[in-house]
């Protein structure tokens, strides 16, 4: 029996206003090669200057993963040639990264947890982009010099499931901290997966294969499963030594397979050496004091929702799973008199169920203020839960006001006890035989009376009020 060993490298694009070593903007939807300057074009004589915002965001990440934040860290040159890197080297941090020895907790469905150690997070510059267009290839350097934080885990994960839980947690932390948009499709959260296998019980690490170029959680899971299958088969067929060697493989989405891309370079191939053009990166006490004040993270928020609102684990997990959901919920709760129970079900069941196609929580036609207002109208008994669904249907189609829709659809509940009493009296008077049977001990008939009153009110009576009035009148 084999055990799977996985270590992950994640490149997070930081959402700073300007690039890592120059003042060019980091936005990409500009004409090719316009967000460039002598520094990021690597023209001779241009010198890099470290962007402080990158240091600030690294402190935030380091704090969130309980890591050591080095007061001084250094930059190194990693030499390689590729058309999208005009300097023919990448500035990175090999020997002393800014963040080291962190950890991250993953949570399993059965409520157990596991700690995954994080070896380091280091700052580095991104390359530009090669655009292949038929017979010609073009280079766009707008992205060259954009800041990345590369977060490297220890080989602590033992299944594809654990790897995905780790990635989702890390992704969510980046979003909560708002240090990057972490959009996988657009390449601002890029994952390299290192996979090896070993006989169960063996402590030694075997040859790892690195799979690159995977841009969705689903494909990462797939790539790991395929790599594990390939390696175990080779082992069982007695050709492990020949077929499994340290290399970089590509995940081919179309053919659903991993393919060899190149043999794995060793550190020596990159001729790493200390970057001579940059000073060390310094984290001052003031920076630490300011940027270690990070927003509430998903785990803490989840625990708080459970404690403060009596929310169950499942709902708390769903709502805090993404920062957008969590903020949406918290905005709803700002409306006076809204209960967590009503807000939870309106958000996770009713609204989510109506967000189809391209719609999601961030572009929902009904925003958090409006859904909060609707929740308030349930909780102050203006409308029933059932009526709220009708109101929401209408609000999804048109940008209208909650109270206006309630009025227009005539959905206001009658809670006024005078009106309800009058209807109850009518029903009681019309059914003397049923009253006698009920009072003679046939308790089940109570439902009949409630039903009749609701019917007579055309469903607008508040059922709770009807219950109370009937109990009092029937004895």
Interaction mask 160-199, Mg ion, x per CB under 5 A: --------------------------------x-------
Candidate segments 123-131, 146-154, 310-318, 388-396, binder of ligand ADP by CB under 6 A: 146-154
For residue 313, state whether it binds ligand ADP (rule: CB under 6 A).
no
**Which DSSP string do the residues of 1-31 spell out, in sequence order?**
-EEEEEEEEEEEE---SB-SSS--B---SS-
Residue count (the chain): 475
For residue 93, state whether it binds ligand ADP (rule: CB under 6 A).
no
Q: Which of residues 201-220 bind ligand ADP (CB under 6 A)?
A: 205-206, 208, 210
Q: Which helix (H) or strand (E) holds 276?
A: none
Q: Which helix (H) or strand (E) holds 284?
A: none
Beta pairing partners, 120: 100, 152
Q: How far is the CB of 384 from Mg ion (least distance, A)?
A: 57
Measured from the CB atom, the residue of 121 and 343 that comes closer to ligand ADP is 121
Measured from the CB atom, the residue of 191 and 368 that comes closer to Mg ion is 191
Residue with tokens 């069982």: 236
Beta pairing partners, 414: 461
For residue 11, state whether it binds ligand ADP (rule: CB under 6 A).
no
Measured from the CB atom, the residue of 190 and 394 that comes closer to ligand ADP is 190
Q: Which residues of 309-348 are buried (b: 16+ CB within 10 A; e: fewer)?
A: bebeeebbbbbbebbebbebbbebbebeebebebbbbbbb
Q: How far is the CB of 246 from ligand ADP (least distance, A)?
A: 9
3-state per-residue secondary structure call for 30-54: CCCCCCCCCCCCCCCCCCCCCCHHH
Measured from the CB atom, the residue of 7 and 48 that comes closer to ligand ADP is 7
- Residue 22 contact partner, candidates Zn ion, Mg ion, ligand ADP, none, CB within 5 to 8 A by sort of partner: Zn ion
Judged by CB under 6 A, which of 6, 59, 64, 149 binds ligand ADP? 6
Q: How far is the CB of 56 from ligand ADP (least distance, A)?
A: 24
Candidate segments 7-15, 38-46, 166-174, 459-467, binder of ligand ADP by CB under 6 A: 7-15
For residue 8, state whether it binds ligand ADP (rule: CB under 6 A).
yes
For residue 3, state whether it binds ligand ADP (rule: CB under 6 A).
no
Query: Is residue 101 exposed (0-12), middle (13-18) or buried (19+ Cβ within 10 Å)?
Result: middle
Q: How far is the CB of 192 from Mg ion (least distance, A)?
A: 5
What is the C-alpha end-to-end distance of the chain, expressed in Å? 71
Q: Which of residues 9-38 bind Mg ion (CB under 5 A)?
A: 9
Candidate segments 5-13, 176-184, 359-367, 401-409, binder of ligand ADP by CB under 6 A: 5-13
- Which residues are at the interface with Zn ion (CB under 5 A)? 22, 24, 37, 39-40
Q: Which of residues 394-433 bind ligand ADP (CB under 6 A)?
A: none
Q: How far is the CB of 103 from ligand ADP (least distance, A)?
A: 13
Query: Are 58 and 149 a contacting pair, CB within 8 Å?
Result: yes
Measured from the CB atom, the residue of 119 and 364 that comes closer to Mg ion is 119
Query: Are 153 and 8 a contacting pair, CB within 8 Å?
Result: yes
Measured from the CB atom, the residue of 11 and 280 that comes closer to ligand ADP is 11
Q: Which helix (H) or strand (E) holds 244?
A: none
Q: Which residues of 257-285 are buried (b: 16+ CB within 10 A; e: fewer)?
A: ebeeeeebeeeeebebeebeebeebebee
- Residue 37 contact partner, candidates Mg ion, ligand ADP, Zn ion, none, CB within 5 to 8 A by sort of partner: Zn ion
Sequence-distant (≥ 6) Cβ neighbours of residue 377 within 8 angstroms: 383, 388, 391, 402, 403, 406
Candidates 73, 30, 299; CA nearest to 168 is 299
CA-to-CA dists, residue 138 to 8, 86, 134, angstroms: 31, 13, 10
Q: How far is the CB of 13 from ligand ADP (least distance, A)?
A: 17
Query: Are 140 and 131 a contacting pair, CB within 8 Å?
Result: yes
For residue 247, state whether it binds ligand ADP (rule: CB under 6 A).
no
Q: How far is the CB of 242 from ligand ADP (least distance, A)?
A: 18
Closest residue to ligand ADP in the complex (CB): 7
Interaction mask 154-183, ligand ADP, x per CB under 6 A: xx----------------------------
Measured from the CB atom, the residue of 153 and 460 that comes closer to ligand ADP is 153
Beta pairing partners, 5: 196
Q: What residues make contact with Mg ion under the rule CB under 5 A?
A: 9, 192
Q: What residues make contact with ligand ADP under the rule CB under 6 A?
A: 5-9, 152-155, 194-196, 205-206, 208, 210
């Amino acid at each position: 029996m084999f055990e799977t060993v996985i270590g992950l490298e994640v490149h997070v694009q930081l959402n700073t206003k300007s690039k890592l070593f120059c003042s060019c903007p980091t936005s990409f939807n500009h004409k090719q090669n316009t967000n460039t300057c002598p520094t990021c074009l690597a023209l001779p004589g241009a010198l890099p200057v470290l962007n402080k915002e990158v240091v600030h965001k690294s402190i935030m990440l380091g704090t969130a993963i309980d890591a050591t934040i080095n007061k001084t860290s250094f930059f190194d040159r990693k030499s390689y040639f590729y058309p999208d890197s005009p300097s023919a080297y990448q500035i990175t941090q090999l020997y002393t990264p800014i963040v080291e020895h962190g950890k991250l907790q993953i949570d399993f469905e059965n409520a157990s947890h596991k700690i995954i150690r994080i070896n380091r997070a280091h700052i580095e510059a991104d390359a530009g982009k090669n655009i292949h267009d038929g017979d010609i290839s073009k280079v766009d350097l707008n992205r060259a010099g954009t800041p990345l934080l590369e977060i490297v885990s220890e080989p602590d994960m033992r299944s594809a499931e654990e790897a995905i839980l780790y990635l989702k947690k890390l992704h969510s932390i980046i979003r909560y901290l708002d240090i990057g948009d972490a959009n996988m499709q657009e390449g601002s959260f890029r994952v390299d997966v290192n996979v090896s296998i070993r006989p169960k019980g063996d402590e030694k690490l075997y040859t790892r294969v690195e799979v690159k170029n995977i841009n969705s959680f689903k494909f990462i899971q797939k790539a790991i499963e395929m790599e594990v299958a390939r390696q175990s088969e080779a082992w069982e067929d007695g050709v492990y030594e020949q077929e499994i060697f340290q290399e970089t493989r590509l995940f081919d989405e179309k053919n659903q397979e991993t393919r060899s891309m190149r043999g794995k370079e060793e550190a020596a191939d990159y001729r790493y050496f200390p970057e001579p053009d940059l000073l060390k990166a310094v984290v001052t006490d003031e920076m630490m004091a300011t940027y270690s004040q990070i927003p509430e993270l998903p785990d803490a928020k989840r625990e708080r929702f459970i404690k403060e609102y009596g929310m169950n684990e499942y709902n708390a997990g769903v709502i805090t799973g993404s920062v957008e959901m969590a903020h949406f919920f918290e905005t709803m709760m700002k409306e006076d008199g809204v209960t967590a129970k009503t807000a939870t079900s309106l958000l996770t069941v009713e609204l989510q169920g109506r967000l189809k196609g391209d719609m999601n929580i961030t572009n929902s036609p009904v925003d958090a203020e409006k859904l909060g207002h609707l929740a308030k109208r349930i909780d102050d008994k203006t409308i029933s839960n059932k009526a709220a669904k009708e109101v929401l249907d209408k609000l999804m189609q048109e940008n209208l006001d909650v109270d206006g829709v309630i009025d227009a659809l005539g959905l206001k509940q009658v809670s006024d006890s005078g009106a309800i009493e009058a209807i109850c009296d009518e029903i009681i008077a019309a059914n003397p035989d049923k009253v006698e049977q009920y009072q003679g001990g046939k308790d089940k008939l109570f439902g009949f009376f409630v039903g009749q009153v609701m019917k007579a009110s055309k469903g607008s009576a508040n059922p709770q009020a009807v219950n109370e009035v009937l109990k009092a009148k029937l004895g």
